[in-house]
Structure 1
Amino acid sequence: MNDSLHVKVSNEKAGSILLENNEYIFDYTTGNPDAFVSLSMPVRAKSYANPKLHPIFEMHLPEGYLLSIIKKHFSKITKTDDFGLLQLMAQSIKGRLTYDADTTPKDEILSLDTLLHPKSETLFDELVTRFALNSPLSGVQPKVLAKVRDKVTLPLQEYIVKAWGEEYPHLALNEFYCMSIVKRAGIEVPEFYLSDDNKLFIMKRFDIKEDGSYLGFEDMCVLQARQADEKYEGSYEHIAKSIKTFVSPKHKKKALRDFFKMMVINSLVQNGDAHLKNFGVLYENINDIWLAPAYDVVCTTLYIQKDIPALHLLGSKKWWSKAFLLRFGKESCELNSNETLMLYDECVEAIRITANEVKERIEGENDLHVKVFLSSLVEVFEREKDH
């Protein structure tokens, strides 16, 4: 039995992906070189054959919590292998890449106020029920993609809404303050919010332009031709190399500076989940490619005490010293000594300011569990930075 899906690039028919004899085959049906499905899959006559779903298509599949919810509801009525999932999610995948599907998902609209000021303790569960099949999102954390209207006069926006379970308490608070550090350090981040009840971290989708059209986005798994289950393989040097390979010359210096700062912050806040899928690029076309905003930055050692970095850096998976990070900046990010020191200090200052903000929050906090969690977060933020 053959299964196939037609793929469009910016609404132009580009090719089709076929599952035949346990092999995934993608064929272009266009001769337009700008209608490439991935930066690593240029338009050509020869088929792209793979024993697993090609990384650019796999990038659209749900993982973790969302995957378990979808399998629970649909495994009895349809196949939920990779290709079955892609067919199931096809109608909801909106971006530079889309798929021909039999139906168009019904738009359900929320207001941003509903997310920021929840009146129901079960709001996230309600969102999952409404939006699970409309949420082609990777990552293990509970999350959904929701259409949101900020103000009556503004166009609809798409926001990723994340919650947390008992295994990772107060993850929304954790991500909100870690992302605040990233923003203060001058690194581009998506627009993000924390709900009043601290249960939801809300982040605006960053690949949609003001006119509603989509930018291309590819994570490092796709750029390195790796499957999603290989996201913890490789090194940060390989990411720097991918940045140098794919990012356009006019954006390269900024991309490498920002990547170095992201690495400093990930190390200092002890983010052990900065894997290949948590870095990526955005692009208008083959000549205009830049580093995507930073996302998914959290302190993981608050949950896994002896957690280690997701990837190797200079051959090590231990939390790196300042000297180690500065060396990485010079050897892999094309920075000089003065630049690495200046950028490192910007990150340390961003952490210091955020730590003070959290301490002020603790002073006025009535919830004991929140106070204890935030105090632990401050301890991480205030650890010696010059070791």
Structure 2
Amino acid sequence: MEPLALDVRLDGYNDPVGVLVRDDRGAVAFAYMEDYVSNSDATPLSLSLPLSPEPYEDVIARPFFDNLLQERDSALTDIMAREGLSRDDVAGLLFHIGKDCAGALSVLPMGAPPVKVPGDYDHDYTAIRPERLEAIVASLHKRRRLPEGTEDPSPLAGVQSKIALTLLPDGRLAEPNPGTGAPTTHILKVPDQEHLQDALLEAEAMSLSQKLGFETADVVAMPIANIDTLLVTRFDRGLDREGRIVRIHQEDFAQALGLPASLKYERRGTEGRRFDVAGIRRVLEATADPTGEKDRFIRATLFDLLIGNTDGHAKNFALLFERGQSVRLAPRYDILPTRLDDSLTDEFAFRIGSAQRLGEIAIQDFDAFLRDMGIDSAPARRRLRVRYSDEIASALAAHLDELNKRGMKRFADLIATNIRTLLGNLEVDVPETAKERDAFLGSAGGWLLS
């Protein structure tokens, strides 16, 4: 294997911030540029790659850069076949597709000019004609190739079909003009033929998250070509002083913990190398407001438990990096009541104490969860258990009738059933509005909502 060196660029900086190299054995290493490390305005690429003049060897560098590749290997099939590359040749793959990494990063051949620059609404985008948008949605819905001439400018991880687009000020969806390097502003999610209601369910879950006070990405359900899609506002975008769209550097928790995407669930890892509460705590303690971020994460975990979202894995939580080294928890995103789908596991992405499922959570498990999150005082843990579970359950219970009126009875029944189960196990009073609702018994009718 031939050695290879690549420039690593971060949108907003004129020069490469580092170099990624592959040796003749296929091992990779990463090093920051010396001038970049000494810059007071420098931003680390990751919590797992703090600013340092020393290089990072394969065991540390590989997981971060592997996470820049698309999570679904099928998306890499063409480039692997055409170039004769294996999936573990991270640098070789990035040589060909590193210009299209999701987010503010790009990995380019040495000396190549920047490919990611701010976007001007007036000059860098072309509105998508209605018939073309319908064709794009139909292709994503049926998991077919996108229409000719359509190239997702920001390949996205995950298993749902989606494409990155830009919402123009006049409300039309648009694509960046080829060669501009302009950012997208939104993600359009399109459910497949087996999960026609995903967009509506995610819209409801995200709306509930906002109503309960969690910072949450804005979403809107949009019917296109008789398919309910979901338009999600990207939380890693902003406007500069000239009104241009700019990228904000972010990373997910898998990258922050130095884990490959394959270890995004606790059950797939081993002690010391897995996505668990201990790792989550390490990430949150590296933010600018550790106490506040841990508090928010605890409450968000309760929210997920009660709405039936068991898929809060390491790539569904992210950090935002402000200029310099200030880091904060990103808004919530990818919230879906996965327990409405009987084909999906009810096992948690990370354990709560020793519990792996909702019905297994006992007082000692939630106490262990709080202790692992850094709440050392036993009386404080007792107060938080009662206070947070009561507050979040009561707030959700207040929205059950609204869900019913919008044809979401099964979702409302799931929430009420989860409230009764969890609060009963935690010895906390169940809100009256959740006591008498029908029990959620699983999906007898597939994804029908009422």
Counterpart code for 2:234: R
Q: Is the 8 A contact 1:176 1:194 kept in 2?
A: yes
Deviates further, 125-134 or 295-304: 125-134
C-alpha displacement of 1:294:
1.0
In the alignment, which of 258, 282, 286 is matched to residue 242 of structure 1? 282
More displaced, 350-359 or 176-185? 350-359
Q: Aligned runs of 1:128-277 on 2, under 5 Å? A: 128-129=146-147, 132-151=151-170, 158-196=185-223, 197=226, 199-211=228-240, 212-233=245-266, 234=274, 236-248=276-288, 251-277=289-315
Residue-pair matches, total: 370
Q: Name the structure 2 match of 1:367.
A: none
SS at match of 1:193: strand
Q: CA deviation at 1:156?
A: 7.5
Question: Which whole-Å deviations, capped at 9, do the CAs of 1:225-265 have from their partners, x for residues lacking one?
Answer: 111111112354224412443111xx223211211121112
Give the percent of matched residue pairs that are identical in Structure 1 and Structure 2: 20
Aligned CA distance change for structure 1 residues 383 and 230 (closer, same or farther; 3 Å):
same
SS in 1 for 2:310: coil
Distance 1:286 1:340 in 2: 36
Code of the aligned partner of 1:382: A
Q: Does 1:332 align with 2:377?
A: no
Say if 2:320 and 2:327, in contact at 8 Å, map to a contact too: yes
CA distance in 1, matches of 2:20, 2:136: 42
Whole-angstrom distance in 2 between the partners of 1:254 and 1:127: 44
Q: 1:337 to 1:128 in 2, by over 3 A?
A: farther
| Aligned residue identity for 1:242 | R
Matches within 5 A, 1:358-369: 358-362=403-407
Q: 1:97 aligns with which of 105, 121, 133?
A: 105
Cross-structure match for 1:4 = 5
Residue correspondence of structure 1 range 14-33 to structure 2 within 5 A: 14-20=17-23, 21-33=25-37
- Larger mean CA deviation between 281-290 and 101-110 belongs to 101-110
Q: Is the 8 A contact 1:4 1:19 kept in 2?
A: yes
- Which digits, 9 at most, give the CA deviation of each residue in 1:122-178, with x for residues without a partner? 274699445554233211111121123142799985111111223434211221111
Asked if the contact 2:69–2:101 (Cα under 8 Å) also holds between the matched residues in 1, the reply is no
1:22–1:120: structure 2 CA closer, same or farther, 3 Å change rule?
Answer: closer
Name structure 2 gaps, 5 residues minimum: 174-181, 267-273, 425-450
**Residue matched to 1:86:** 94
**2 CA distance for matches of 1:131 and 1:256?**
41
Distance 2:162 2:92 in 1: 21
* Alpha carbons 1:330, 1:337 under 8 Å: kept: no
Matched residue, 1:368: none
Contact 1:39 1:223 in 2 (8 A): yes
Q: State the distance in 1 between where 2:30 and 2:345 align.
A: 42
* TM norm structure 1: 0.82
TM-superposed deviation, 1:289: 1.4
Match of 1:55 in 2: 63
Matches within 5 A, 1:313-328: 313-319=352-358, 321=361, 323=363, 324-325=365-366, 328=369
Q: Look at both structures and tell me which one has the larger radius of gyration over its CA atoms.
A: 2
User: Under a length normalisation based on structure 2, what TM-score does the superposition of the two structures give?
Assistant: 0.71
- Aligned with 1:5: secondary structure? strand
What amino acid is aligned across from residue 13 of structure 1 in structure 2?
P
Which of 402, 406, 410 aligns to 1:357? It is 402
Question: Within 2, Cα distance between the matches of 1:142 and 1:45?
Answer: 40
| 1:27 shift after superposition | 2.4
Could you say if the C-alpha distance between residues 288 and 272 of structure 1 is closer, same or farther in structure 2, counting changes exceeding 3 Å? same
Letter in 1 for 2:170: K
Unaligned runs of 5+ in 1: 363-373
Residues 48, 3 of structure 1: CA spacing in aligned structure 2 closer, same or farther, 3 A cutoff? Answer: same
Please give the alpha-carbon distance, in whole angstroms, between the structure 2 residues aligned to 1:306 and 1:59: 24
Measured in 2, the distance between the counterparts of 1:191 and 1:203 equals 6
